Amino acid sequence: MNPLKTFCLVACLLAAAFASPDPKQRSNSGENNLKPTQWLSTSELEQIPSVDQITLQRLENMPVQEGAKLIEQLYHLSQIGNELQASFVPSPSNIPAYIVKPNGQNVNANLNTLVDIVKQQQNFGEQEVTIFITGLPETSQPVAKATRKLVQAYMQRYSKQQRQPNKEYDYDSKQRTSSEEDYNEAWKSQKSVSGDLIVIDLGATLNSLKRFAMLDVEQTGEMVGKVLVKLTNQANIPREIIHIVSQGIAAHVAGVAGREYTRLTGNQLRRITALDPSKVFARDPKTLTGLARGDAQLVDAIHTSAYGMGTRLRVGNVDFFPNGPSAAVPGATNVIEAAMRATRYFTESVRPGNERNFPAVAASSLKNYQNNNGHGKRGYMGIATDFDLEGDYMLQVNSHSPFGKSAPAQKQNTYHGVHQAWKNARNQDYE
């Protein structure tokens, strides 16, 4: 039977579950160790729609808790017996890519022509190179908005308009808003940071939940990894200046790409940042699939929908959980928006002057975070994350932009004390 057509067919999944009564035959991830009948009633199982019936628009129209529950159900069902096979691998010629010029114009390519296009760019890769890999299509409004803002933030960070805005990128007039995410006058006093931005729009190929769930993370990641090797070997971009920023399922693709790069070169990439790394629906239980610590010198992750589109599992050297692990962060009204909040937070930190808007504290759980009143190692979530941070970090964020609390590091002794009201309002502790 074709798994593409029967991904969530309850009868098949239940048959797979009962065919493997020995728990040792199942994945030991900790997220799929129960039979469906232990956490879903028969009527609930029958009502779960097939993956063909679920669109991003449908998820956007669901209340966040309803959407998160549906995603969790689909994910757990997909893990039974590991029957779901990764079968979608986009062709490199079908993965759009582009270089964003300082004037905001794009130089278009695709994944298999990207290296040749980069080689044609004058002075490319002289200082810092950011490669942003999208994880969902821009047909979704929250995805399009988050991606647009991130690209704009890097243009402000990298372009000379930080010092002297021109007519096209005049941040004093045309693009000025009250949002800290969009604008901060601190850019006027910042030192110029030169760099280049590449966007690999993997999300454009994931135009259905079926493709998202069936993506072969391993093959796709190896394909991207080989492109990274060509960028360093043929386009002469030093690996030490490459920073991969990746969304959702693309975070796991980036992880595999990092491992492939190390396998082929013997060297690690500098940094991989995961923006709400997603659940991996299709995986081989015998293979380490997706992002993990060691895939780059620094792997940092921002989890904004751990119990929704995202994963609650640690994936990096340092994992940030704004407001603790939950289905959604404050202000997000659906699971897609919640997943994109990680991109929005990172975007805010990219804007010159906002690098330290997200002070965080080391904590092993939400309860520990709430009770330690500021004790433990401190760091910053976002572009300014230190390479020596390790473990789980927690922080509080605002429900609307500006999202960061912007508390100075030297005043962190009472950082949690000011959030006593929030602490009292939270009754659920995710250990």
Q: How many CA atoms lie within 13 A of 67 on its CB side?
A: 27
Are 106 and 88 in contact by the 8 Å Cβ rule? The answer is: no
State both tokens at 36: 């469906």
Task: Evaluate whether residue 430 is within a structural domain.
Answer: no
Per-residue pLDDT of the chain (431 residues; tens, 9 = 90+): 444 344 444 334 333 333 333 333 333 344 444 455 455 666 666 677 777 778 889 999 999 999 999 998 888 888 776 667 888 999 999 999 999 987 778 999 999 999 999 999 988 998 899 999 999 999 999 999 999 999 999 999 997 444 333 333 333 333 434 454 554 554 444 555 789 999 999 999 999 988 999 999 999 999 999 999 999 999 999 999 999 999 999 999 999 999 999 999 999 999 999 999 999 998 776 777 899 999 999 999 999 999 999 999 999 999 999 998 999 999 999 999 999 999 999 999 999 999 999 999 998 777 777 777 556 778 999 999 999 999 999 999 999 999 998 733 333 333 333 233 223 333 333 33
Residues 170 and 250 occupy one common structural domain = yes
Task: Evaluate whether residue 419 is within a structural domain.
Answer: yes
Q: Which CATH number covers residue 200?
A: 3.40.50.1820
Are 335 and 370 in contact by the 8 Å Cβ rule? The answer is: no
Residues 119 and 52 occupy one common structural domain = no
**Whole-number Cα distances in Å, 163 to 177, 183, 191:** 19, 14, 8
Residues 17 and 132 occupy one common structural domain = no
Residues 70 and 113 occupy one common structural domain = no
Residues 314 and 407 occupy one common structural domain = yes
Residues 245 and 384 occupy one common structural domain = yes
Task: Evaluate whether residue 382 is within a structural domain.
Answer: yes
Q: Is 417 exposed, middle or buried (0-12, 13-18, 19+ CB in 10 A)?
A: exposed
d(CA 35, CA 49): 19
Look up the domain containing 37 and give its range: 3-82
State both tokens at 204: 């454009």
Angle, helices 141-158/335-350, rounded to nearest 10 degrees: 10
Look up the pTM and report it.
0.81
Residues 203 and 285 occupy one common structural domain = yes
Residues 58 and 98 occupy one common structural domain = no
